[in-house]
Amino acid sequence: MKNEMKNNENKMKDAKCLTISYLTWASYTSLNAGDKEADNITNLKKIQMNDGKEYPYCSSQAVRRALREQLAVLGCKLSEGVTAVQKKGAATTMCNPQEYIDDDLFGFMKADTATVKRISPVRVSPLIALEPYRGDLDYGTNYMAVKAGGDPNIFETEIHSGFYKGTILIELDRVGEKTAGDLYKLELEAKQKAERVKALLTAVQNLWTVGRQSRFLTDISPKFVCAALMKVKNPIFMESIRIEKGKPDINLINQTISDFAYVIIDHVIGERKGFFPEDNEQFATLGQAFDKMRQWIDDIFGEKTE
């Protein structure tokens, strides 16, 4: 038993990243606006795939903002935005990762007499639809102009329905750590690092975009997750989640796990039970999956946190 525990501790010390790929479903949504093609039409952001069809997506910037906002809801203290020091420079945050969780997890860059920057240890993909855009439009009318003596303002918004997939990779060896030459303070205890990563996991589990929700309220929290604790930094499930007959393709997922078994310390697959046409007995519940990820974090950083 002692040898088994020792081996487990040694494995956890080898952990370099936690990668999470997830599926969500949008019944009726307009997640992320693109450039307007006409004054009265708000377009979805879309990418043309090699099948010639256009697939809507929610940008990685929007997903990162959603994670930040959820961290705030969870009670985390976020870094405030400040104006640029240099003329015509870009606004930035407080650039204080010691105090602010978002400066630590999401990085920053401040152009001053010396450039101060931190590369984000949390890598985020866009949330990309698995079904193409079908040309659906929401038709709306703004009657406020009528009260002012004008004509109703008619407008349309592109809408979409279907599965979306996304990936988040957390560089565990960089959370709460700085590299030589970094011009900022960052010296966190193991417990603080664990608390920050687990707060991020809770934000992912409860992912909710703050943009475009007044008329298009959408639940983008994961309905299915594949997560792996890795000895290397590789989002192995990113291109391995597909939908077959309304449910995740387990054969592709199992093949991915087999192919990367030599660098996987542990993995977990979770689903919202009752959500797909039939439950898979191999999968944990979503709650169990995220609980297991939190346990990994406790084991990695060597301290049990509240």
Question: What's the pLDDT tens digit per position in 255-280?
Answer: 999 999 999 999 999 999 999 999 99
- Name the percent of the chain lying above pLDDT 90: 70
- Locate the domains of the chain by residue range: 2-134+160-301
Contact in structure between 56 and 24 (CB atoms under 8 Å): no
- Pull the structure tokens for residue 223: 């309905």
Q: Bridge-partner residues for 44, per DSSP? A: 33
- Pull the structure tokens for residue 205: 């589990």
pLDDT of residue 67: 96
What average pLDDT does range 131-141 have in this prediction? Answer: 90
Confidence of residue 143 (pLDDT cuts 50, 70, 90): confident
In whole angstroms, give the CA distance from residue 265 to residue 230.
6
pLDDT of residue 40: 79
Residue 303 has pLDDT above 60, yes or no: no
In the chain, which residue ranges form alpha helices assigned H by DSSP? Answer: 2-13, 60-73, 101-106, 144-147, 190-205, 250-259, 286-301
249 contact partners, CB below 8 Å, separation of at least 6? 241, 242, 243
What average pLDDT does range 11-36 have in this prediction? Answer: 89
pTM, entire model: 0.90
pLDDT of residue 113: 74
User: In terms of pLDDT, which residue wins out, 85 or 120?
Assistant: 120
Residue 305 has pLDDT above 50, yes or no: no
Confidence of residue 103 (pLDDT cuts 50, 70, 90): very high
User: In terms of pLDDT, which residue wins out, 226 or 28?
Assistant: 226
Strand, helix or coil for residue 26: strand
Q: What are phi and psi of 12, to 5 degrees?
A: -65, -30
pLDDT of residue 237: 98
Average pLDDT, the chain: 89
Confidence of residue 183 (pLDDT cuts 50, 70, 90): confident
What average pLDDT does range 241-255 have in this prediction? Answer: 95
pLDDT of residue 304: 45
pLDDT of residue 2: 52
